[in-house]
Structures are given as C-alpha cells and as structure tokens.
Amino acid sequence: DGGITQSPKYLFRKEGQNVTLSCEQNLNHDAMYWYRQDPGQGLRLIYYSQIVNDFQKGDIAEGYSVSREKKESFPLTVTSAQKNPTAFYLCASHSEGSSNYGYTFGSGTRLTVV
C-alpha cells in the first residue's frame, strides 16, 4: 500500500543534541511538508519541498533543517538551536496530479526533550 512512513513514533532527546526525524513516501508525490503540532496552535508549517533538491522555509523554520536529495525522502533535523522542540511532528506529501488533489499525512513522531 502506498503511503507515508514516519519513524520513529516516539523519540527522546537530551538537551543540546541534534536529532533527525525520518519521512519516506512511496506515492511518487512531488511535494513534501513538515508540520509541528502543539495543543491550541494547530499545525504550523516548518519546511516544505516542491521538488527534489529544493526546499523553502515555512512559518517556524528556526532551529530546524531539512534535505531533499531523493523524491521519496524528506528528513527533518531538529537542532540544538530549537528552543522548545518537544512536540508532535507530522510529515505530509502532495501531488497536484492526484485526482483528489491528495495530501497524505504520516502517523507522526512525538519528540520529547528530557
């Protein structure tokens, strides 16, 4: 079945450490997105990529970095510069060519800084 795989589901990080969240899709979607979900703030866009080897900052990119070396993969690194990294992170992909203008979401990664 096609879809988005995010791993790990739960992640614990010590303060001062960088950590990378994985997002892989086998939908052949061109665009991929990273969102952060916090209670009462909805989903805020961190980074997005419309095409391989290109990406743009979203609304809250500070303290995060991404790469898009392959169409299937869009990993997110939470750096030590991110002041409040504990949150739920959602990856999504999208294809304009899809009949339902489909956005597909992964199951998310819950990151906790300890």
Partner 1 sequence: AQSVSQHNHHVILSEAASLELGCNYSYGGTVNLFWYVQYPGQHLQLLLKYFSGDPLVKGIKGFEAEFIKSKFSFNLRKPSVQWSDTAEYFCAVTDSWGKLQFGAGTQVVVTP
Which residues here bind partner 1, judged by CB under 8 A?
Answer: 31, 33, 35, 40-45, 48, 50, 58-59, 90, 92, 94, 96, 100-101, 103, 105, 107-108
In this structure, are residues 2 and 105 in contact, taking their beta carbons and an 8 Å threshold? no
Which of 98, 7, 84, 94 minimizes the C-alpha distance to 39? 84
Nearer to partner 1, 80 or 95 (CB): 95
What is the nearest approach in angstroms of partner 1 to the Cβ of residue 63? 19
- Nearest 5°: CA angle at 50, between 53 and 5? 85
Choice between 11 and 43, CB closer to partner 1: 43
